[in-house]
Amino acid sequence: MTNKITVLLGLQWGDEGKGKVIDILSPQYDFVVRYQGGANAGHSIVFNNKKYVLHLIPSGIFTEHTKCVIGNGTVVDPDALLDEISLLKNEGIKLDGRLFLSEGAHLILPYHKIIDAINESTSEKIGTTKRGIGPAYYSKYARSGIRFYDFRNEDVLYNKIERNLNYLKRIFPYSDELNELEPIIVFRDQIRKFSEYRKFITDTTELLHNALNDKKNILLEGAQGTLLDIDFGTYPYVTSSHPTAGGASIGSGIPPLKINSVIGVVKAYTTRVGEGPFPTELIDDYGKKIAKLGVEFGATTGRPRRCGWLDLVALKYACEINGVTEIVLTKADVLDEFDEIQVCVAYENNSLKFTRFIPYVDFLNNCKPVYKSFKGWKTHINQFKDYNSFPTEFHQFVEFIENFINTKISFISTGASREEMIIRN
């Protein structure tokens, strides 16, 4: 039997409920790997009747035998990392020999967070999480970023910090916060923090290749969602990494041909945080009702999420980009009370009909959704323990989605807890 190498990712604009799915699937895997993003993610998990939100450390950490890797494709804020380490330790969760951080991952330094805040204070804002993600990836691609490798030579590390800070002070001369940052203070602070987490740093590419050779099962955990991908998302209203399946290989070192399944997570409606196009957005009582029933507030920033109907045009595109092999449908229970439920099956733009998603802002801002209506099932679906017992209206909704995207919905989540998950055979 071949070992399972699975990518699990979001098919919308993030917040699809991936945390719970990873938590449920983790026992089947020896390793769970984060491959992109940083502490901008917010994965909520209910463990021992308590809710936890993890931003950086994979949610697989709650499964005792599972090892967790923060891969080379991520950007890591040492403050966020240390906060999570301390939170998990306080809960009695063992980390030694279970948490591994790639030497090749880039650091988010205080100046990245300052620049994120400066950029977000302008009219060109993206609506970021202000966690320094974009500026850290900017440093990475400008080839001036700092990786955990750099702590091997403190002189080199200091010089890099000094050079980066001097450069940024020249670009943003009016930022008091930036001007007050002294290279030596930043350097000493980072060295001190490094000593607290250095034991977790390793060559994760080697670790994962050994795991592949030992036929271990590996789950690659995507953060954010496909429509926030820097290439395939609604650029520039995107995050600065690749939440898509292609990013899993780049951000972990696992060869593409080793990946044998891609599980896509999709919410029964759509949400988005921050700016950017959203064709099915509901700026009416329906939108408010979804937000209220779905408790749609950002897990990282607490911002209210924009809500709208499920967009099958976008979903089909996301399935194609990622080569999704099966789907987890989440939060369908949020629609339990609705008399009528809509899904978008095409866009109308300048009197033309489009059934293909084009990730171009001007196009999408001009698109009006064409909807198909479904009669609501009007009952609490969390009472059903197998798919056949669900009401006909629910079957019609699920099966229409499957046919439209030509992909099987294998799991249906009917509530927040681990137990509320129906597996369809």
> Could you list the active site residues?
15, 43
Applying CB under 6 A, the span of 9-17, 186-194, 343-351, 403-411 interacting with ligand IMP comes to 9-17
Nearer to ligand IMP, 34 or 131 (CB): 131
Q: Residue 108 gets which letter from DSSP?
A: P
Nearer to ligand IMP, 42 or 308 (CB): 42
CA 75 to chain centre: 13
Q: Which residues contact 212 (CB under 8 A, 6 or more apart)?
A: 3, 5, 218, 254, 258
Q: Which of 6, 9, 11, 14 binds ligand IMP (CB under 6 A)?
A: 14
Q: How far is Cα 325 from Cα 201, in angstroms, rounded to an integer?
A: 33
Which residue has its beta carbon closest to ligand IMP? Answer: 274
Residue showing tokens 């009219």: 123
What pairs with residue 32 in β-bridges? 68, 219
Site membership for ligand IMP, residue 291 (CB under 6 A): no
Residues 327-356 that bind ligand IMP (CB under 6 A): none
Site membership for ligand IMP, residue 40 (CB under 6 A): yes
Q: Which of 95, 126, 250, 293 binds ligand IMP (CB under 6 A)?
A: 126
Q: Do residues 393 and 400 make contact, with C-beta atoms less than 8 angstroms apart?
A: no
Q: Residue 11 gets which letter from DSSP?
A: S
Residues 89-118 that bind ligand IMP (CB under 6 A): none
Site membership for ligand IMP, residue 267 (CB under 6 A): no
Q: Which of 259, 223, 260, 261 is nearest to 244 (CA)?
A: 223
Q: Which of 84, 40, 15 is nearest to 226 (CA)?
A: 15
Both tokens of 18, joined, read 């991936």
Q: Do residues 340 and 375 make contact, with C-beta atoms less than 8 angstroms apart?
A: yes
Site membership for ligand IMP, residue 226 (CB under 6 A): no
Q: Which of 62, 55, 48, 60 is nearest to 84 (CA)?
A: 55
Q: Which of 108, 228, 312, 335 binds ligand IMP (CB under 6 A)?
A: 228
Q: How far is Cα 169 from Cα 167, in angstroms, rounded to an integer?
A: 6
Residues 149-178 that bind ligand IMP (CB under 6 A): none
Q: What is the signed CA dihedral for 392, 398, 401, 405, rounded to 10 degrees?
A: -130
Site membership for ligand IMP, residue 22 (CB under 6 A): no
Query: Half-sphere exposure of 30 toward its Cβ, with a 13 Å CA cutoff?
Result: 16
Applying CB under 6 A, the span of 67-75, 106-114, 121-129, 347-355 interacting with ligand IMP comes to 121-129
Site membership for ligand IMP, residue 294 (CB under 6 A): no
Nearer to ligand IMP, 15 or 84 (CB): 15
Nearer to ligand IMP, 145 or 201 (CB): 145
Q: Which of 6, 7, 8, 15 binds ligand IMP (CB under 6 A)?
A: 15
Helix H or strand E segment including 270: strand 269-272
Q: Which of 239, 249, 413, 414 binds ligand IMP (CB under 6 A)?
A: 239
Site membership for ligand IMP, residue 409 (CB under 6 A): no
Site membership for ligand IMP, residue 127 (CB under 6 A): yes
- Interface residues with ligand IMP (CB under 6 A) are 13-15, 40-42, 126-129, 131, 133-134, 223-224, 228, 237, 239-240, 273-274
